[in-house]
Amino acid sequence: MTCKLPPYVLQELPNITDVINYPLKNVHRIKFTCFDVSKSLIAFGATSGGIYVYNRSPCEFVQLIPNKDGPITRLTISSDEKHIGFANGKGMVTVTACDQTLSGGHSSTASKDHHGNEITAMVWSGNMLFTGDDVGRVSVLQLQSFITKTIFQSSSQIILSLDSRICQLDAKDCMLLVSTITRCYICNIIQEQYRQIGQKLRDGEFGACFVTKDKANVNGELESSQQDYTEVKKYNIVDGELGFTVGEQFSNTLIYCARPSSRLWEATVDGMVRRTHQFKQVLAKQPMTVITDSFDNENVPVECVDENSNGQSVIFSKLYSINGAIFSFNRHALYFLNVHNVDDTLWFDKYNDIVDCKIYHDLLYIWLSNGSLICTRFMKLHKFLVQCYLDEKYTLCADLCALYHDYLLTSNPSPKLHILVGLKEKLDSNGLLDRIKDILEKLDALKSSEATQMKSGIYVVDNTYHAQTTLDEKCETNDDSYSIQPDPLLALKGLSNAVSDKFTVSKKILKDKWDDIEEKVKQFNSERQSIQETTKNVQEIIPRKIIPDEELVNEYPLPLDQDIVFKDSSQKAIETDNNSVDNDRVCKLLYQYHRLSLVNKEMEKTNLISMIENNACDISKIYELMLSLERYCISVGALDESKFVPNNIFLTYLCISTNKCDLLDAIINDEVLYKYFVDSCISMNIKSRKLSNVGCECGFPLPFARSNETPIFSELIDEFIERQWSVQTKEQCYDICKKMPYLWRKILYLRRNEDLLNVLRILLQMLDESLLHSFLPQFTLDTWDRAVQLYAVLHANICLNCNKKFEHISVKDMLSWDDLGSLIIKSVGGKNAIELMKKHGHLIDLGALTIKFYHSCLLACLYEKYDVTIVSQLVDTIYNSYEFEESRLEICRLLKCTKNGEIKNTALPLTVAAMSDHWGLKPLRDRLLSIKKDENTITLQEILINMIELFKGVSDCSLCGLPLQNEVLIKDGGLWTFKCGHNFHGACLDLNKIKLCPSCSH
């Protein structure tokens, strides 16, 4: 006996695993640990502490955001994609800027509210990042609304202390949903209250989520009532019958909480349970088959569920809303639970060893333990059949029609399925067509409904050739019919052919009415022009009042009759025509806008847009308007601003214009506009002194880039370069870089996916360590071999492109052989670094590689056996501590105590660790440097005294319980510090034979 299949499919999309794993292709020491997906990004956290960011569609590597706080365990991308929140194994939560440029460092802020605990869940809500841990605490890290690229203002606080581990967090506007091992809570962020959902307890990893049918606005985007909250407090529990005041925005929002034995609670947003959904029995049926290019419908099980079976008892550890269903997963299966019709529930067991899953709209990303990232789409059957036909997968489309034969015949299909009638011509006449003959006949009858009469009497004809637009994720709605909107002009032009002849008369009547309307519009325009001319003449007669600057600052929008610069009318001005008068009036307004913007930085940008677009219809007219503004500045005596003002307004308008992309394309294709744009960028940055014009005669950048100062309008300039690059005008891009060397960073970003050897010359010649750090994952031994040879040339102050010598910059003072050696150690390890330098020893000056390079190589070889993530911090610490005599001697003693290539533990002596902010003792390092004049004479006793005073409450060794300031134990084994900042007696570590930190296992 067979039964109907659920009308949903799970389609596997093209594989993106190779692209995701490309940055780690030659780096075996680094592994991905977690990931998240957003509208346009995919981000992976790694054991190295870095965040690898990719464009989601098309999938390509974008950047590496470095981080020195240890391996990342969880991360989440904010809804506006401006920030990434992540946590490490020590319980530290950090938010960093998600900036897809190579402009330098990344601003970040951190919270230590969960220090020492495991972060188990994270979720964004507006400008707040909520975090839960393994002891039941929930905190919020709040970013203030005035965040800039260079500074984060934030507040962090524990708001909930619950009874057990946090399993999942979800947020919807001002409501926060918290699921623990035993209970589920709903929290109101505004009221700062929370209450338990339901009364029965549970025991296990159970998830919870909000489910909402969002309403679309006129622009096709989802309405959002999210707001930034300015204060965080600890929340109070609401007991008994008290509930929350729930606004209308939650009228169509429900909560689903996982329960034992494959059950879900359905509750309202005020925390009241309405019903229980049972899926145990329906999950007893066989798993469905994922749709792939090699789909075989013979393998799709269609057996009914045995009513006598025990069913499948599943723990839904995570719950997500996806395309009308509730999604959950475990290590070996995917579950799509239908709360409206239990029989439409389906599950899949194709993928094994599932680590995590993330959802964006109807896309499901599945991350497996072998490093594969599988992208799938969960779709309704009707939509997928249309997609198959449009993608010319006719056999697959017919196979699915045959498989879902009973459903398509008995259900009320979407009118859009009539396109499938074309299968008769696309497939050879065979048994497959015979099996779906009755389905095609039913779909053929849907054609009669192609033309729909509206209330106005107009007939709208469906345009099947544009049906594929409904598959775009931007056009997706929750409406089951996913209607296809026809192009209005095409519908009107083809009206007489698409519908029956009886509409011909109606079409003629419609045309006559349209002609009549056109005539009235022309008459109205002529009358309006006459009124405007009369009004203009009246305005010329009325005396104008000069208003002080203080009043102008607060006037929005800009009045037409207010001038900052006033000049008496001359006889020559009176004789000019109306066009000239209008042009001068606009120039006055633009100059006023510029003057006001100097006083009020937050001026309304819409005023500038309306002023320009009301008087210039295209980019050429805007250019002419800027030239007029330049002449106007000269005429009023503002000679110094005659170039700067038009350039500033021109670039500002391009930044805020809704047609920015089209305008930039037009500029690229016009030689005059192109030159004006480039000159404007240079003019703006020379005036502000933010443009470094240091470059070789051949156009290659010289080592100027160690400054992170970015030019004004850098985002616009970067986009301009990127659009040029996309249209293959690369030579023009290089020409601009010769004038603005900062832009070589953007060129490197655009060429990030090329073989590193192709851009190695430019990358090295910029001599920017932060830039080199971002490319470290792509370096291999062969790449470093070539890099050492090129650096030897550059070290002699010779350009890598034209071989000309430059005298005004000293490369060895900017990046020494020691500095290059530290990068090599971090990239390929200490042993390979020594062999590489030995191979090219003839290129290196005598003494250019100091003892700190060799000691760092030796220690890296010893330490990476036990902790592969330690090398980068270790090298930075050794290099920094070599400035101090006591630290140098301690490192030598450490190496002498090493026997047979084995170290006692992965800690460093206190006198070494305290001299660097890379080894967990940054506060101590800052304190020592602030109180000591002669840094090279700091003793162990002085370090210890300041450490005890600074870190109060941690003055005892956790292994023996004795004070760290114990003279006997200090003389016996010294004090040792792990990279996490925990301190122990050396004798205690030796006695217990401990390699890693016993406090946090790092």
User: Residue 569 class from Cβ within 10 Å (0-12 exposed, 13-18 middle, 19+ buried)?
Assistant: exposed
The encoded tokens of residue 732 equal 């023009």
The pLDDT of residue 478 is above 50 = no
More confident residue, 11 or 965: 11
Q: Is the dihedral of CA 269, 275, 277, 278 positive or negative?
A: positive
The pLDDT of residue 404 is above 80 = yes
Confidence of residue 336 (pLDDT cuts 50, 70, 90): very high
**Quick check: is 935 in a domain?**
yes
Confidence of residue 221 (pLDDT cuts 50, 70, 90): very low
**DSSP symbols for 248-264:** GGGTTEEEEEEETTTEE
For residue 41, give its domain range.
32-144+153-161
Cα separation, 982 vs 997, whole angstroms: 7
**Quick check: is 113 in a domain?**
yes
pLDDT at residue 621, as a whole number:
87
**Quick check: is 65 in a domain?**
yes
**Quick check: is 975 in a domain?**
yes
Count of the separate structural domains present in the chain? 2
Report pLDDT digits (tens) over 73-129. Answer: 999 999 988 899 999 988 999 999 886 454 445 678 888 889 889 999 999 998 899
Lowest mean pLDDT of 18-22, 137-141, 570-574, name the range: 570-574
Cα separation, 572 vs 569, whole angstroms: 8
Report pLDDT digits (tens) over 750-767. Answer: 677 777 887 888 788 877
Cα separation, 451 vs 666, whole angstroms: 40
Cα separation, 213 vs 259, whole angstroms: 23
Contact 886, 911 (CB under 8 A): yes
The pLDDT of residue 610 is above 90 = no
Rounded to an integer, the average pLDDT of 294-321 is 77
Domain end call among 111, 130, 161:
161
Domain end call among 161, 196, 218:
161
Backbone angles phi, psi at 886, to 5 degrees: -60, -35
- SS (HEC) of 731-771: HHHHHHHHHCHHHHHHHHHHCCCCCHHHHHHHHHHHCCHHH
**Quick check: is 349 in a domain?**
no
Highest mean pLDDT among 229-243, 399-413, 903-917: 399-413
**Quick check: is 136 in a domain?**
yes
The reported pTM is 0.51
Give the CATH number for residue 68.
2.130.10.10
**Quick check: is 312 in a domain?**
no
Domain end call among 161, 196, 211:
161
**Quick check: is 81 in a domain?**
yes
Cα separation, 797 vs 806, whole angstroms: 6
